[in-house]
Amino acid sequence: MTVTSALPTARAARVVAHRGASHEHPEHTLAAYRQAVADGADALECDVRLTADRRLVCVHDRRVERTSDGRGIVSELTYEELRALDFGAWKGAAHAGARVLLFEDLLQEALSAGRPVGLAVETKHPTRAGGRLEEELVRVLRRHGLADGRGGLVEVMSFSRGALTRMHRLAPGLPAVYLMERRLRPVRPPYATHAGPGIELVRRDPGLVGRLKAKGLSVRVWTVDEPEDVELCLDLGVDTLITNRPRAVREQVEAR
């Protein structure tokens, strides 16, 4: 694997790599995250689910068909069964052989980056794991001394108000991001300190960013890949851009 390097400089907005540098590499793979770090991403975004044997893995979909050569539901497969699948070949032969990534391995990768690299962790709901998903996430973070929000390295995200409430109960020091896809009327959910509208919402209603900020929420917008969307977000004062193309967005932010 060839990884090129880009060093971050002073910036007005944070750049978060959506499932890693997932435009170049298969999403949620070690290669994607290592490339994102090399590209100067401030933080790495991941989705987490529980396996049948309660291991925390980085997988977006409920099922594995889209991103692997296997079949089945993540929560019904053990970690070893997931490890046997190829999570890279769907992106092309050059990426074949990528394995499912444990959240704890991603955490270790971020901590060993040689500079501060954060994690933006989305707990996926609905899921049969229910609240056990947040419990396992906090358990792993606590083992690394990060469940209290120390250093601001970890933030949790969810479309589920219930999930954010559970996270606050389990780890009240962690910043919480309320993700928004279709809701146009900004509502501050319990315990959220950040709002995460999708770029389509922001395009349709640019004033949403200002209204969210007026409620005391910082704003993270996803998934911002196109140059015109980056410009729109920067013009509106968006705090964080979540993107599949961290290098290109990093360069555009720094050019401003």
Stated pTM of the model: 0.93
Residue 169 lies in a domain: yes
The angle at the Cα of 18, spanning 13 to 19, to the nearest 5 degrees, equals: 150
- Of the two residues 185 and 112, the one the predictor is more confident about is 112
Residue 116 lies in a domain: yes
Q: Is the Cβ–Cβ distance between 125 and 47 less than 8 Å?
A: no
Residue 3 lies in a domain: no
**Which two structure tokens, joined as six digits, stand for 115?**
């500079």
Question: How many domains in the chain?
Answer: 1
The angle at the Cα of 15, spanning 11 to 21, to the nearest 5 degrees, equals: 140
**Three-class DSSP category at 50:** strand
What is the span of the domain harbouring residue 223? 14-64+101-255
DSSP 91: G
Residue 202 lies in a domain: yes
Residue 71 lies in a domain: no
Neighbours of 256 (CB within 10 A): 11
pLDDT recorded at residue 184: 56
Residue 87 lies in a domain: no
Residue 39 lies in a domain: yes
Gap between the Cα atoms of 215 and 14, Å rounded = 20
| Average pLDDT, integer, range 170-185 | 86
**Active-site residue numbers?**
18, 60
**Three-class DSSP category at 120:** strand
Residue 70 lies in a domain: no
State yes or no: pLDDT of 128 exceeds 90. no
Confidence band, pLDDT 50/70/90 cuts, at residue 151: confident
**Which two structure tokens, joined as six digits, stand for 202?**
């922001």
pLDDT recorded at residue 3: 43
pLDDT single digits (tens) 188-228 = 666 888 999 999 999 999 999 999 999 999 999 999 999 99
pLDDT recorded at residue 191: 82
Most confident of 6-20, 46-60, 138-152: 46-60
Neighbours of 77 (CB within 10 A): 23
State yes or no: pLDDT of 5 exceeds 50. no
CATH number of the domain bearing residue 219:
3.20.20.190
